[in-house]
């Protein structure tokens, strides 16, 4: 790996750590770390009413805001692993949220990709049964 590639990896890793730490706590800063062309992908999202792909900073910000605000999701036990490509990281974490009546305890595996020091791709894998049990069908139209 070249020195430049290693510098890019180090910078992107710092952004990834900050991104995960800020989620649910400082969403304005969090949204600033999104690339204008950011894409969110939920490969299994359709089973619970989520689109499988969301494009653009405004649409992705609204989805992240729903998760942090309405659903109360917070991340912890975050592990970020570098990949061969200095722009890509595998992020594993636990998420908590929901209500006392319907608590949410989830494990996430997410691919992050960064461009120009901002998140450009967020591809999240999670157990949709756990999400469905805690939140119901998440269609913007209400089911």
Q: Which residue has the tokens 């299994």?
A: 44
Residue 118 has pLDDT above 70, yes or no: yes
Q: Where are the domains of the chain?
A: 3-135
* Cα 44 to Cα 38, 64, 88, 131, distances in angstroms: 19, 17, 21, 11
Q: What is the pTM of this model?
A: 0.91
Say what the pLDDT of residue 92 is. 98
CA 120 to chain centre: 11
Residue 84 has pLDDT above 90, yes or no: yes
Just give the CATH number of 3-135: 3.10.450.50
- Rounded to an integer, what distance in angstroms lies between the CA atom of residue 97 and that of residue 8? 33
In terms of Cα–Cα distance, which of 34, 31, 32, 53 is closest to 42? 53
pLDDT digits (tens, 9 = 90+) for 100-114: 899 999 999 999 999
pLDDT band at 1 (very low <50, low <70, confident <90, very high): confident
Say what the pLDDT of residue 138 is. 83
Q: Which two tokens stand for residue 95?
A: 């998420």
pLDDT band at 46 (very low <50, low <70, confident <90, very high): very high
């Amino acid at each position: 790996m070249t020195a430049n590639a290693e510098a890019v990896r180090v910078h992107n890793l710092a952004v990834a750590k900050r991104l995960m730490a800020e989620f649910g706590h400082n969403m304005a800063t969090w949204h600033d770390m999104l690339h204008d062309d950011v894409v969110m992908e939920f490969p299994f999202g359709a089973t619970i009413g989520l689109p499988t792909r969301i494009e653009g900073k405004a649409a992705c910000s609204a989805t992240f805001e729903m998760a942090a605000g309405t659903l109360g999701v917070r991340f912890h036990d975050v592990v970020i692993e570098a990949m061969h490509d200095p722009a890509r990281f595998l992020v594993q974490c636990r998420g908590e949220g929901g209500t006392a009546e319907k608590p949410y305890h989830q494990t996430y595996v997410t691919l992050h990709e960064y461009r120009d020091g901002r998140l450009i791709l967020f591809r999240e894998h999670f157990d949709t049964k756990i999400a469905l049990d805690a939140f119901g069908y998440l269609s913007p139209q209400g089911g």
